[in-house]
Amino acid sequence: MKNTRLHRLPMLTAVGRCLQWFARPSQKTTAPRRTRNGYTLIEVLAAASIISIGTTALVSLSSTLMLQEELASRVAITRNYQENTVRLWQLGLSTVQITALMPSMAQNPLLQQAMFNNPVIVENGLTTVNGVVMETSLCTAIVNISQNPSAKAAGASFTLTAYRPRLVTDLRTPPP
């Protein structure tokens, strides 16, 4: 009996090895590990939504900037016209002469789009500045702030105060 036991033990070890060999997974039956080569649908949707939000913000900003640029151009045209009107008055021209010299809104489509109405110059009278008698006038202009160029919408009015020395007319005695 002792002999058979010794004889069976190597057999059990051999069977045990065979069972271990069969229990181990074969290399052909296991699927190879997949490497990740692409993006998931959720990642693509998240990226697309971020890009669309950014694009929408850029388009909105672009249109706002274009409106601001147009309005700034209108303000510059109106202020330039107003300052030129005041300069002519300071040179000694009357309001009638200034109106005749300056371009009218009826003749200039750019002025029609930029200004709400023609700048108005009003002579206020006389004032004394550092002992010198000065004539005073106010020139008021209003910008057209309508987004539609053919329509008119009044913006805030801007008034310039202008001074000029009083024109001396009594230096010579009148002829007899």
**3-state per-residue secondary structure call for 47-81:** HHHHHHHHHHHHHHHHHHHHHHHHHHHHHHHHHHH
Give the whole-angstrom CA distance, residue 162 versus residue 127: 11
Phi, psi for residue 132 in degrees, rounded to 5: -110, 130
Region class of 49: left (phi > 0), else alpha (psi between -120 and 50), else beta: alpha
Are residues 95 and 140 in contact, defined by beta-carbon separation less than 8 angstroms?
Answer: no
pLDDT tens-place values along the chain, 176 residues long = 555 554 555 655 665 665 665 566 655 555 566 666 788 999 999 999 999 999 999 999 998 899 899 999 999 999 999 999 999 999 988 889 998 999 988 888 888 888 998 888 998 889 888 888 889 999 999 999 988 877 889 988 899 999 988 766 655 566 66
Asked whether the whole model's pTM tops 0.75, one would answer no
Query: What residue type is assigned to position 88 of the chain?
Result: L
pLDDT at 55: 94
Give the whole-angstrom CA distance, residue 31 versus residue 64: 58
- In the numeric block, which tokens belong to residue 23? 């229990």
